Structure 1
Amino acid sequence: MKSIKALAATAVIATVSLSASAAPTTFFGEDPTTAGVLGPNSTTARNTFLTNLSGTGTEDFEALTGSQPFNLLFPGTTVALNATLAGTISLATSPSTGRFATSGTNYITASTGNFDITFATAISAFGFNGIDIGDFVTQQMTITLTDINGTPTAFTVPHSLNIGNTAQATLFWGFVDAGNSYTSISFANAGGGDTFAFDDMVVGDVGQIVDPEPNGVPEPATLLLTALGLGLLGLRRKIK
């Protein structure tokens, strides 16, 4: 009977640890052509991302002035989340060819090259609206997350290529990770002379994630271990 108790406890612990160590869950939606507003696929991806968070803030860049580096501030669970945005970027206050704000009038434009967001307090969720990404390029954008241990994880944003300079394409990309936290995010523009925009950035810490398994879909291994734990607990009751 002692061995059954220990095995049941091990199954429960393993379920928790597997859930906590899951890789980041990413969210993506794209609209290659719009009428100058965030497209429906982009909006759906953004809304799905936001259902996994509570108490986060959105940076719409309306209060920014001057030039980079830009200091940003987001609400956190216990402390404010300070961020610094720097690189080949500038603040725009009116629409340009293919580019526009998805709220208000201000947005950030990025030219060929890299830019980074660094966080004074580690974060576990991030998302943004992208505008006019994918014209004049033959490769897709790469976003690299660096975690609290200094380990980088790179993601390719699966946007369309050569979409047209005036198509006003929009996309949303984001991630949620209940099992890890990150201190910086780097954007690598694929080059080719592409200038794009982004707006309405969302940042959250691990305490603002409302579901440790985004969208409530657990890993198969988690389901197996949970079933094992429940079965062993049932066996223990029968033996008693």
Structure 2
Amino acid sequence: MEKKISDYILVSSGLGVMVAYHVWLFYRIVRHPNKTVIGINAINRRLWVRAMMEDASKNGVLAVQTLRNNIMASTLLASTAIMLCSLMAVLVTSGGHSESPLVVLGDKSVFGFSIKFFAILVCFLVAFLFNVQSIRYYSHASILINTPFKNISTHAHHRRLTADYVATTVNRGSYFWSLGLRAFYFSFPLLLWIFGPIPMFSSSFLLVFLLYFLDVAFEFCWADGNLDYVPQRDEEEEIGK
């Protein structure tokens, strides 16, 4: 009974730390995007999309190749995730788990191992779904980014709306790719949970510590960032002066 209690306390604490960190990160991305790597990248992607669409005949090939590289990266992660899902499904349904001597503390029963493998399976399945959505948005963006919006409308407002829509599509593809990658990150503590709740609890804190330095922008903070901000033509000319 004490072993199961240690699983409940340590595993719940480890998951709570990771969830709390990502809630905090989501708040920072929404409220202070200029202080996070994800937010700064989203702003710069909007500027990149607008630059590519300014001259589609000249930059169209570059834009499509860049998006194709992102599609290939998402495809690789999706293929890896579904392969690992199949492996975890076999381990869950085999029922041939034996007590591991490497488990120092925690539940060593067959049912306990099934729960651990099932949690890892769910993690990889979520990663697969997120990466599939990323491929979907990148595929749409590869067509939309070559839209001849200058020939469709001469109104500057309509042109800006078209560029903003394409930029939003590209950003959504990147967001889903990041979420799929986070699902892979979440799987590491769950994999170590196989060896007991203590490795899982320790790896959760270590993962959050490392992700903090990967997610927070220390040197490239803008004064006021906004995910929807795109400099206007007069602002660009003023900056150029």
Question: Is TM (by shorter chain) over 0.5?
Answer: no
Greater helix content: 2
TM-score bracket for the superposition, by shorter chain length: under 0.3
Q: Larger Cα Rg: Structure 1 or Structure 2? A: 2
- When the two structures are superposed, what TM-score results if normalisation uses the length of structure 1? 0.25
Greater strand content: 1
